[in-house]
Amino acid sequence: MSVKLKYIILLLMCAIGQAAFAQVPNYPNNPNVPNYPGQQRQPNYNDTGTTKVLSADQQLDSLRRKIDKKKDTVVFSSKFIRVTNERLLKDSTQLLRLDTGIVNFENYSPVLQPNDPKITLGNTGLPERSLLFEPPQTIGFDPGLHELDAYLFGPQDINYYRARVPFTDLYFVEGGLKEQLFKAIHTQNINPRLNVGLNLNFLGSQGYYSSNDVLLQNVSNVNVAGFVWYESKNKRYNLLGNVIYNDLKAPVTGSILNDSIFKTGSLDKTTELVRLPNTYENWKEAGFYLKQFYYIGRIDSTKKGTGNENILPTQRVSYTMWYDTRKYNFIQNDPDDYQVFPDYYFESNYARDSLTVRHFQNTFSYSFYLRSKSQKAKNNEAKLDVGLTQDIWSYSQYVADTVLNQYGAKVNQALKVQVTSFQDITLNGKLSYRLSDKLLLEGSANQIAAGRDFGNFLYDGKLTLASGGKAGKIVFEGYSQNSSPPLAATDWISDHFIFHNSFSTIKTNCLSFNYINEALQLDLKVQYYLVGDYLYYQAQPGGIDATPTQITSDISMLKVSLGKNFSWRRWHFDDYLVYQKSDYESTLRTPEFYNYSSLYYKAFAFKVLYANIGIDVRYNSEYLAPSYAPGMGQFYNGANVTFSSYPIAGVFLKGTLLHTNFFVMYDYVNQGLLSPGYYTVNRYPQSDRLLKFGVSWLFYN
């Protein structure tokens, strides 16, 4: 039916209504007489004006304006946007509402997450490592360089959307010249089945001890990702695709010369001298990711008619292709006047080390779902996944060296020192069984059956028991892992470090118990690790010659974490506590206690402003601080230095107003009160107190 025909029918209905009620008198000031729809007001003869009689075309235009105005009253909000990711699409099509809350909104930095704290060389953007014991759960080839991993953007970080209206999120954090961050997300549906979008991330920082005149001491990170999600009309075929580019630049200063900065003080910290003012590392990455899966047989669904249906397949086949190139560069432009590096093997005072890693991955998988058709047992399900992954790797390493050219002059040029290519074939399997919402049993196996890393495996199992009420749920979990040592510890050639070692594979076993009670807002987790042939870096006493070392004895680690949220009226207290105990504390070098607390008051002002006012406090106990090896990108066990430990507090105001979230925070507000400053890594002072402002604008149009 055309729009014009709709208007004509509405006009005829109004005319019919006018004729039907033509004999009903109008009493506009009498509350006992209703104003019927379509009733025309009688002329007011006391008025000096006259009532204008509208023509049919004028009445049609008036109706059109009313209808158009009614359409304009629609207020677009987050309910028009649904979000998902590859993990949620792994077993079924699941869509979630867009999260527009302000929980943890002030903790924007990837190194200051409450449940995943990290140690750094100073401000955000510099090399980092987990403060707590977190062994990686990966097998196969590993380059061994991870100091900037927190700032990378990968395929697993992509969110996919179903947007009934175009959606844009602009996120900006300002901490003066010390720290600046900008993020942008835009996505829209080209049609009901095809969604496209773009992610942009920028991070810049001059730090606290760098000179404004030395540009190479600035952090400069760029992440760009374009993504697409297509779902066929019959919901059987899905395609996920993304293109990612990362460009990370982090200064490698070798620390400041004044190792007693918090005792002696400084008039202007930007004038403090560093050991390497023009040296930095630069990571560049470009990748293409494509995942396709198709549902075979009957397709079940839940929440029918709500717009939030979860599509549950009975069979699924999928194929994933991922091509990625990453280049690690270390660029030294300074003479080593302060003996930052232990040795020189090629060029003195002019290092150009680079490692280029190319990775091409193909993954094929088949999934079979068996679930009951009975309404009483509709949540019962058994699932089997089988698959095969092919990883093709190649890497090449270069250094800079001085050679004689054809004219007999000395020139610096790149020298290829090693190049290798190989492949791994991994067999993947997973079996799970769900009994209603009370029990879920899962087990998976990943085994490298052929290739360079033959024998690597990762087996894990998980049992979830839920009462379905206020009693909460219990999760038992465990895994066993056998992984190859990284390239950086076995075959590494650079200007300052050369290693050719033969190490055993690293064995990691873990058992855990987790009790979760959402009604009580309680999360208790106990983990026990047993690590064999643990690999780490250490130096001679007082030395800087960081060398990979393997312990043949088993290392035990007990880790207990407790998260609990309390509330009383408008007051809220959220706390996360971790206790760790190892029989090799001098080797693992992690604190025994870690605590994060947040106390805040919830306020609602002017009927439009929802705000939280409070204080965040981070604390960890004293521990032997690790050192950092510039030129190799590794945290290592150097001098036995223990720093005093004090709480780090930040006061904040955060809130939400219409489509805008914001926060104002004074981080490390207690600096100067018992705590003049602090270290987490030997010789690298951490960030000073800083006033920060952040805002996130959401646009639906």
Question: ∠148-153-154 over CA atoms, to 5°?
Answer: 115
Give phi and psi for 384, each to the nearest 5: -130, 130
- 571-582 and 506-517 strand pairing: unpaired
The reported pLDDT for the residue numbered 49 is 43
Q: What are the tokens at 271? A: 């004038």
Q: State mean pLDDT over 475-488.
A: 97
Read off the pLDDT band of 75 (50, 70, 90).
low
31 shares a domain with 106: no
Select from 325, 104, 39, 168 the least CA-distant residue to 699: 168
Select from 194, 276, 288, 208 the least CA-distant residue to 241: 288
The reported pLDDT for the residue numbered 301 is 67
The reported pLDDT for the residue numbered 41 is 37
Q: Contact 218/205 with Cβ under 8 angstroms?
A: yes
**DSSP one-letter code for 80:** G
The reported pLDDT for the residue numbered 30 is 41
Parent domain of 12: 3-44+53-72
What do you get for the CA distance between the two ends of the chain, in Å?
A: 26
The reported pLDDT for the residue numbered 58 is 55
The reported pLDDT for the residue numbered 206 is 84
278 shares a domain with 130: yes
d(CA 130, CA 149) in angstroms, rounded, equals 11
Read off the pLDDT band of 510 (50, 70, 90).
very high
Number of domain units in the chain:
2
Q: State mean pLDDT over 232-238.
A: 90
Q: Is 87 exposed, middle or buried (0-12, 13-18, 19+ CB in 10 A)?
A: exposed
Looking at the DSSP bridge assignments, the partners of residue 429 are 386, 445
Select from 651, 639, 650, 630 the least CA-distant residue to 679: 639
Q: Give the DSSP H/E element, type plus range, for residue 617.
A: strand 609-620
254 shares a domain with 179: yes
Across 81-90, 371-380, 400-409, 586-595, the highest mean pLDDT is recorded for 586-595
Numbers of helices and strands, H then E, in the chain: 5, 36
430 shares a domain with 290: yes
**pLDDT averaged over every residue in the chain:** 87
The reported pLDDT for the residue numbered 304 is 55
Q: Contact 464/473 with Cβ under 8 angstroms?
A: yes
The reported pLDDT for the residue numbered 90 is 82
Least confident of 12-26, 342-356, 548-562: 12-26
The reported pLDDT for the residue numbered 78 is 75
Read off the pLDDT band of 414 (50, 70, 90).
confident
Read off the pLDDT band of 310 (50, 70, 90).
low
**DSSP one-letter code for 505:** P
Q: State mean pLDDT over 502-518.
A: 96
421 shares a domain with 279: yes
> What is the three-class DSSP state of 141?
coil
- 381-404 and 352-371 strand pairing: antiparallel
- 473-483 and 491-493 strand pairing: unpaired
The reported pLDDT for the residue numbered 230 is 96
pLDDT digits (tens, 9 = 90+) for 483-505: 999 999 999 999 999 999 999 99
Read off the pLDDT band of 177 (50, 70, 90).
confident
Read off the pLDDT band of 37 (50, 70, 90).
very low
**DSSP one-letter code for 93:** B
Task: Please state, as a whole number, how many other Cβ atoms lie within 10 Å of the Cβ of residue 260.
Answer: 7
% pLDDT > 70, the chain: 85
672 shares a domain with 527: yes
315 shares a domain with 449: yes
Task: Please state, as a whole number, how many other Cβ atoms lie within 10 Å of the Cβ of residue 672.
Answer: 11
Read off the pLDDT band of 378 (50, 70, 90).
low
Residue given tokens 């029989």 in the structure block: 583
Read off the pLDDT band of 234 (50, 70, 90).
confident
The reported pLDDT for the residue numbered 349 is 82
Buried/exposed code over 567-600 (b: 16+ C-beta within 10 A; e: otherwise): eeeeebebbbebbbebebeeebbbbeebbbbbeb
168 shares a domain with 217: yes
Select from 132, 95, 138 the least CA-distant residue to 115: 132
Residue given tokens 């990453």 in the structure block: 326
> What is the three-class DSSP state of 217?
helix
d(CA 44, CA 58) in angstroms, rounded, equals 22
d(CA 154, CA 612) in angstroms, rounded, equals 32
pLDDT digits (tens, 9 = 90+) for 417-446: 999 999 999 999 999 998 878 899 999 999
> What is the three-class DSSP state of 18?
helix
Question: ∠366-368-371 over CA atoms, to 5°?
Answer: 160
Least confident of 46-60, 132-146, 652-666: 46-60
Supply the CATH number for residue 583's domain. 2.40.170.20
User: What's the predicted TM-score (pTM) here?
Assistant: 0.86
d(CA 57, CA 272) in angstroms, rounded, equals 79
- What's the 3-state SS for 161-197? EEECCCEEEEEEEEECECCEEEEEEEEEEEECCEEEE
pLDDT digits (tens, 9 = 90+) for 49-72: 444 555 544 554 555 555 555 545
Task: Please state, as a whole number, how many other Cβ atoms lie within 10 Å of the Cβ of residue 74.
Answer: 9
649 Cβ contact list (under 8 Å, min separation 6):
615, 616, 617, 618, 668, 669, 670
288 shares a domain with 178: yes
Looking at the DSSP bridge assignments, the partners of residue 450 are 425
**DSSP one-letter code for 99:** -
Select from 203, 174, 168, 171 the least CA-distant residue to 188: 168
Q: Contact 355/330 with Cβ under 8 angstroms?
A: no
170 shares a domain with 33: no
Question: ∠351-357-358 over CA atoms, to 5°?
Answer: 150
* Angle, helix 56-72 to helix 3-20, in steps of 10 degrees: 110
17 shares a domain with 84: no
Select from 264, 420, 417, 432 the least CA-distant residue to 354: 417
Q: Dihedral, CA atoms, 138, 139, 141, 144, nearest 10 degrees? A: 40
Integer CA distances (angstroms), 684 to 69, 543, 602, 691, in order: 62, 16, 37, 21
pLDDT digits (tens, 9 = 90+) for 78-113: 788 999 999 888 877 888 998 888 999 999 999 999
59 shares a domain with 118: no
Integer CA distances (angstroms), 528 to 110, 510, 514, 550, 562, in order: 26, 6, 12, 21, 15
Residue 25 scores a pLDDT above 50: no
The reported pLDDT for the residue numbered 309 is 57
